[in-house]
Chains A and B, each alone.
Chain A
Amino acid sequence: MKITLTLNGRSREVDLPPLVRLLDALRGPLGLPGTKEGCGEGECGSCTVLLDGEPVNACLVSIGQCEGRAVTTVEGLSDATHLGPLARCFVDHGGAQCGICTPGMLISAEALLARRPDPSDEEIREAIAGNLCRCTGYQRIVDSIREAARERAGGAA
């Protein structure tokens, strides 16, 4: 079945059985391996992507459900030449260690900052509660997101 979706701002078409997981479609035919699989059952959040702006687990969404909708993956958050502010804050403030949770973490953080530009630490922790990280202890991920919010608000100086 032909499915058309907007992927990271560009229109893309794939021909796949509609029940194929969005995760497999992204990592395979759509050529975007940045979205990771940690559990395959909606627990770890490493496969988090935005579907029409809402964070979802790509391991639980079928490609058929994406017809006519907009999907954003980690590859869509930075462009080829420079990092988005959120991504850069993760590098600068120790938000990524092994990095396997990072794509999903960035997507959840992006969704949070889109709806709450100035979140509290508690709100940050809630927003990433579905993204498991085994390396960092989360403190520096929270710091990175808080810092990115500050920079986006123009308080970086």
Chain B
Amino acid sequence: MTTAAQNASSARPPFIGTNVPRTDGASKVTGRAAYVDDLPHEPGELFGATVRSPVPRARLRGITLDPAFDWSDVTVVRASDLAVNEVQCISAEQPILAADQIRHAYEPVVLLACADKRKLAQAVRAVKLDLEPLTPVLDPEQSFAKVDVIWGEDNVHKRFSITKGRADLPDPAGSAAAIEAAIASCEIVVRGRYTTHHQEQLYIEPQGVIARWDDKGVHVTGSLQCPYYVHKALVHGFDLAADRVHVTQAVTGGGFGGKEEYPSVIALHAALLAQKSGKPVRMIYDRKEDIEATTKRHPAICEITSGCDRDGTLRALSIRILMDGGAYMTLTPVVLSRGALHAAGVYRWDDVRIDAIAVATNTPPNGAFRGFGAPQTIWAIERHLDRVAEELGRDPMDLKAQNMLREGDTTATGQTLRGSVGVAECVDKALTASGYHDKRKAAPVVRGRVARGIGASVFMHGAGFTGSGEKHLKGRVAVDLLPGGRLRIRTASTDIGQGTETVFRQIAADAAGVRLEDVDFAVPSTSYVPDSGPTVASRTVMVVGGIVERAAREVAARVRAEQEASGGEFTAAADRLLTKEREVTALVQYEHPGWVTWDDSTYKGDAYPVYGYACDVAEVEVDLDTLEVTVTGFWSATDVGKAIHPVMCKGQIEGGSLQAIGWALWEDVVWKNGLIQNPRMTNYIIPTALDAPPMHVDLVEAPYAYGPGGGAKGVGELPMDGGAPAIAAAVEHATGIFARDLPLLPERLLELQTTRKGFGAKGAEGDPKPQALKG
């Protein structure tokens, strides 16, 4: 940094680390922020709708348009109209419209558009699908057993293994035998099977896009997280040159992963209707359609066998993960990968074998959802360690603390942690703030028919893309100099509520030594922002924020050089430079830290450059008659490296934690014969303000040397990981019921209680059970 820059930046305190008002705040609290369905209707605009399959698996023999219906002003698109019938994602196996096979309920078959919304609804009913139903495969275990082949040769979307220590043998059978032997040689062996269920993202703004065509190509504006994913899908689907596809993000009312890959589908649909009709087409899902047709969290089954010493030292771990990918592969391999990479938890193990499998079923494709596979496997390993602790007669957090990864330790993939490991401080802070130890030592408090208990979880979450992902992706950001010494950030990283545009401004303002209000954030549109990579994987602040920082610094350095050469204020120098050069822009590309090594074929090396860590504590009350669970307090201490904006950072942690609490206790997609029984907000229950506990969040800062703003790490997904196991541990403390399956619905807990299937029912030392449940 030049002297002038130092002067400029020391002239005011830094913005990083302060709670500046969020820059999109005013427009959001006045109702001026324009979400996609708030955009004015264009002349001639049509509404779009989708005719979907009512059954989970069938041969599609034909489509009939009711001859009695007036189709004159309705645009109809079928698979037979398409030149390319592929949604480009990781692969292109999902059709845009079903052609002859129905592979899941709600699969799109026909697209319709009409200017009159009411007539459009009638038109949907006037399309008759001639279907020959086939027996669906709905259970992932049956799919894996190949009772019927519904996808590829063997129904398997992806399978791989992670091996360490004695299990690290190339031959799967040999590796499996080796891990069994390693576990068998341990003093204490514990087995368990843990399952998790679907979860709907339930962003409050449903999916929606507006598409239109003109002489520049196709334009899509919508509610979406990843403009370049949609761009890629449109380029592929319409076989267009990249510069003929223009994707713009409207203000987006929540995503949580649900608007990562799915918007490609709705964008293709609207663009097809717009192309055929020659008119703009607005396609906005209603809530029922959104819940039924769009992606959800992958259900998972984890079977764990572990061995440890009598003193609690963890030794050997074997896990089999089976995830349900749904009818098409979409992002499943990546979700499975992240799930498997988090399956060993935040612990040291000598010998590991993780066999990770994802299979197809005849259900809608499962997809990205905050946490991306990790909450499923962290649920399993945290519950499993609770079980091990019980076997040893130890407090679970005591056992966990004994085995937690420290700087210099190696993970299941052989990655040596090089610092920024704040987990011990997280545990210490969360347990102290919640009074965990005292409450835990005291017997669970039973007042009348209500039992109170407390439980905790500890976990980590890899920030950024897995392995060499960031290296291949080469995310880019541009920072432009504007008249008057202003800067403009151009990036494809979207703000979907998490505060990206505010945080990026803070980073750029400090890097350049300018005022916050002198930094603009360009609306993310593929026509003028470079591809910074998708807004996923807790990578936005840490990875893309780092590029913003470098780009802003570079632009400012050029202005300061001009200032030093010819004097004057920063603003004057900026204007001179602009006059001279016409355009002053820094286009900067991500540089992965040189030491990161990763081998995709063996799953070995630095799975993530760094991890965020957290400890969650939940205090619950359980009604002993109904077994209904209320979370009365929630504490989290989270190591974020460096909080750029503490209020927004805590807001992410609180919001993610409540999604985890909802997943643990209430949120349940109810299926019957492949159909969703509760596709509405009245019966798919997310927490209200009364269900949500008071939240107490502490930030721990163990800076990441390569993170922006003095060490920021990703925080977006981490808070989804630990809520469920903390609550289950608290329920166990209160009632003695050991739950292995989510969600913790009263009827499930009752069954565990009456059948004594809960391991905890036999009680353990130092963990007395309430009187009310004995005998």
Q: Which residues of A contact B251 (CB under 8 A)?
A: 99
* Chain B nearest Cβ from A10, distance in angstroms: 16
* Chain B nearest Cβ from A106, distance in angstroms: 6
The verdict on A139 contacting B692 (CB below 8 Å), with A46-B204, A78-B29 known, is yes
Contact B655 A137 (CB under 8 A): yes
Contact B30 A34 (CB under 8 A): yes
Using a CB-CB cutoff of 8 Å, which residues 26-48 of chain A contact chain B? 27, 32-41, 43-44, 46
Contact B30 A142 (CB under 8 A): no
Q: Pick the contact of A96 from B28, B255, B681 — CB < 8 Å?
A: B28
* Chain B nearest Cβ from A146, distance in angstroms: 12
Binary B-proximity of A81-97 (CB < 8 A = 1, otherwise 0)? 00100011011111011
Contact A44 B681 (CB under 8 A): yes
* Cα distance A37–B253 in the bound complex, in angstroms: 11
Q: Is B686 an interface residue (CB 8 A)?
A: yes
Q: Which residues of A contact B31 (CB under 8 A)?
A: 32-35, 73-75, 103
Contact A38 B689 (CB under 8 A): no
Contact B204 A134 (CB under 8 A): yes
Contact B35 A36 (CB under 8 A): yes
* Chain B nearest Cβ from A112, distance in angstroms: 12
* Chain A nearest Cβ from B371, distance in angstroms: 15
Q: Pick the contact of B647 from A73, A88, A93 — CB < 8 Å?
A: A93
* Chain B nearest Cβ from A81, distance in angstroms: 11
Contact A134 B25 (CB under 8 A): no
Q: Pick the contact of B252 from A98, A106, A140 — CB < 8 Å?
A: A98
The verdict on A43 contacting B30 (CB below 8 Å), with A99-B251, A136-B655, A137-B658 known, is no
The verdict on A129 contacting B651 (CB below 8 Å), with A35-B31, A83-B30, A90-B29 known, is no
Contact B650 A94 (CB under 8 A): yes
Contact B24 A99 (CB under 8 A): yes
* Chain A nearest Cβ from B259, distance in angstroms: 11
Contact B680 A41 (CB under 8 A): yes
Chain A binder among B382-390, B391-399, B496-504, B611-619: B496-504
Q: Is B566 an interface residue (CB 8 A)?
A: no
Q: Is B216 an interface residue (CB 8 A)?
A: no
Q: Which residues of A contact B203 (CB under 8 A)?
A: 98, 100, 134
* Cα distance A102–B688 in the bound complex, in angstroms: 14
Contact A136 B25 (CB under 8 A): no
Contact B497 A135 (CB under 8 A): yes
Q: Which residues of A contact B72 (CB under 8 A)?
A: none
B29, B33, B680: which has the most chain A beta carbons within 10 Å? B29
Q: Is B517 an interface residue (CB 8 A)?
A: no
For chain A, the count of residues having a C-beta within 8 Å of the partner chain is 55
Contact B689 A97 (CB under 8 A): no
Contact B647 A39 (CB under 8 A): no
* Chain A nearest Cβ from B292, distance in angstroms: 14
* Chain B nearest Cβ from A97, distance in angstroms: 4
Q: Which residues of A contact B659 (CB under 8 A)?
A: 134
Binary A-proximity of B480-512 (CB < 8 A = 1, otherwise 0)? 000000000000000011110000000000000
The verdict on A129 contacting B205 (CB below 8 Å), with A40-B286, A99-B28 known, is no
Q: Is A58 an interface residue (CB 8 A)?
A: no
Contact B686 A134 (CB under 8 A): yes
Q: Which residues of B contact A83 (CB under 8 A)?
A: 26, 29-30
Q: Which residues of B contact A46 (CB under 8 A)?
A: 204
Q: Is B202 an interface residue (CB 8 A)?
A: yes
Q: Pick the contact of A92 from B21, B497, B655 — CB < 8 Å?
A: B21
Q: Which residues of B contact A25 (CB under 8 A)?
A: none
Q: Is A52 an interface residue (CB 8 A)?
A: no
The verdict on A134 contacting B695 (CB below 8 Å), with A41-B682, A78-B30, A125-B690 known, is no
Contact B688 A132 (CB under 8 A): yes
Q: Is A50 an interface residue (CB 8 A)?
A: no
Q: Is B38 an interface residue (CB 8 A)?
A: yes
Contact B35 A128 (CB under 8 A): no
Contact B690 A129 (CB under 8 A): yes
Contact A39 B287 (CB under 8 A): yes
* Chain B nearest Cβ from A49, distance in angstroms: 11
* Cα distance A15–B658 in the bound complex, in angstroms: 44
Q: Is B264 an interface residue (CB 8 A)?
A: no
Q: Which residues of A contact B37 (CB under 8 A)?
A: 27, 33, 37
* Chain B nearest Cβ from A121, distance in angstroms: 8
* Cα distance A35–B205 in the bound complex, in angstroms: 12
* Chain A nearest Cβ from B310, distance in angstroms: 41
Q: Is B670 an interface residue (CB 8 A)?
A: no
* Cα distance A139–B690 in the bound complex, in angstroms: 11
Q: Is A101 an interface residue (CB 8 A)?
A: yes
Contact A43 B26 (CB under 8 A): no
* Cα distance A130–B26 in the bound complex, in angstroms: 23
Q: Pick the contact of B254 from A37, A88, A135, A141 — CB < 8 Å?
A: A135
Of all chain B residues, the one with the shortest Cβ separation from A127 is: B689
* Chain A nearest Cβ from B649, distance in angstroms: 10
The verdict on A43 contacting B21 (CB below 8 Å), with A98-B203, A99-B497, A137-B655 known, is no
Contact A98 B205 (CB under 8 A): yes
Contact A132 B692 (CB under 8 A): no
Q: Which residues of B contact A97 (CB under 8 A)?
A: 254, 497-499, 648, 651, 655
Q: Is B206 an interface residue (CB 8 A)?
A: yes
* Cα distance A36–B35 in the bound complex, in angstroms: 9
Q: Which residues of B contact A101 (CB under 8 A)?
A: 204
Of all chain A residues, the one with the shortest Cβ separation from B202 is: A134
Q: Pick the contact of B34 from A33, A75, A93, A142 — CB < 8 Å?
A: A33
Using a CB-CB cutoff of 8 Å, which residues 1-49 of chain B contact chain A? 19, 21-22, 24-35, 37-38
Q: Which residues of B contact A36 (CB under 8 A)?
A: 35, 204-205, 253
Q: Is B663 an interface residue (CB 8 A)?
A: no
* Chain B nearest Cβ from A83, distance in angstroms: 6
A41, A91, A96, A100: which has the most chain B beta carbons within 10 Å? A100
Contact A137 B497 (CB under 8 A): no
Q: Is B654 an interface residue (CB 8 A)?
A: yes
* Cα distance A125–B695 in the bound complex, in angstroms: 13
Contact A91 B29 (CB under 8 A): yes
Using a CB-CB cutoff of 8 Å, which residues 635-661 of chain B contact chain A? 647-648, 650-651, 654-659
Contact A99 B253 (CB under 8 A): yes
Contact B25 A90 (CB under 8 A): yes
Q: Is B349 an interface residue (CB 8 A)?
A: no
Binary A-proximity of B521-539 (CB < 8 A = 1, otherwise 0)? 0000000000000000000
Given contacts A97-B655, A135-B254, A136-B654, 18 further A-B contacts (CB under 8 A): A27-B37, A36-B35, A36-B204, A38-B205, A40-B287, A43-B681, A91-B22, A91-B29, A94-B22, A100-B204, A125-B689, A134-B254, A134-B256, A135-B651, A137-B656, A138-B688, A140-B647, A141-B689
Can you report 21 residue pairs joining A to B where beta carbons are below 8 Å apart? A33-B31, A33-B38, A38-B204, A39-B287, A44-B204, A73-B31, A78-B30, A83-B30, A90-B25, A90-B29, A92-B19, A96-B29, A97-B497, A100-B203, A125-B689, A126-B689, A133-B689, A134-B256, A137-B655, A137-B658, A137-B692
Chain A contacts to B: CB under 8 angstroms: 27, 32-41, 43-44, 46, 73-75, 77-78, 83, 87-88, 90-94, 96-103, 106, 121, 124-126, 128-142
